[in-house]
Amino acid sequence: MVVEFIARWFHVLFGIVWIGMLYYFNFVQTEYFKEAEADAKADAMKKLAPRALWWFRWGAMFTFLTGLYLLYAVGAHSSLMSQPIIWIGAAAGILMFLNVWLIIWPKQQIVLGMKEGDGPASAAKAGLASRTNTLFSGPMLFGMIGNKHLYIADISNTAVYACLALIAALELNALFGKTGPMTSVVGVIHCSIGLVAVIWGILAFL
């Protein structure tokens, strides 16, 4: 129990770092770069963005690792269907972690001039993955707190699989699609809240 509590404490701490930086990038830095003077933007991309990305990606890594331990601890005492909400949140979180390390960070290295490549195309791919992570942050939090603090009677297998399929479809859009209504800050916030509402509705009524 003590080890599990320590793991949860660090999981939340690292998650605050990760999601805090995610929101900073999406709600603050990206919007600032749209309006910044060329010299100021260049200086921020050289000195600020790499530091922020360091905290961002390692916050994601240690949130993921502590989360894996907690999933193991949960799985050792229960099945998928006995605590379905946490597994839906975990699915969103795992995809977010993979987006950070396999898409956002590699593409941002190109954008920042740390690696060679197509800058505009890389910025677009990183931006879509980052917006998708912001979208998934709502369901991830829903899974974290809903597992213990939200009671939904008789959640069906069909409902769980439908939620997981929805998350998978949105991840495919992150890989091959467009930002769509997530293009603006207001849009992605509304989409994330709406996705939580849809998942909640599926679990409650399907």
Task: Show Cβ contacts of residue 130 under 8 Å, excluding neighbours closer than 6 positions.
Answer: 22, 25, 26, 99, 104
- Rounded to the nearest 10 degrees, the angle between the axes of helix 185-205 and helix 157-176 is 160
- Whole-number Å distance between alpha carbons of 163 and 111: 34
Mean pLDDT of the chain: 93
pLDDT score, position 82: 67
Q: What is the pLDDT of residues 135-193, one digit of tens each?
A: 999 999 999 898 788 888 888 989 999 999 999 999 999 999 999 999 999 999 999 99
- Whole-number Å distance between alpha carbons of 195 and 190: 8
Task: Show Cβ contacts of residue 140 under 8 Å, excluding neighbours closer than 6 positions.
Answer: 89, 92, 93, 96
Q: Nearest CA to 147 among 205, 97, 49, 78?
A: 78
pTM: 0.93
Task: Kindly tell me if the per-residue pLDDT of 78 is higher than 90.
Answer: no
Q: Where are the domains of the chain?
A: 2-205
pLDDT score, position 74: 73
Contact status, residue 132 vs residue 170, Cβ threshold 8 Å: yes
First-last CA distance in the chain: 35
CB atoms within 10 A of CB 139: 27
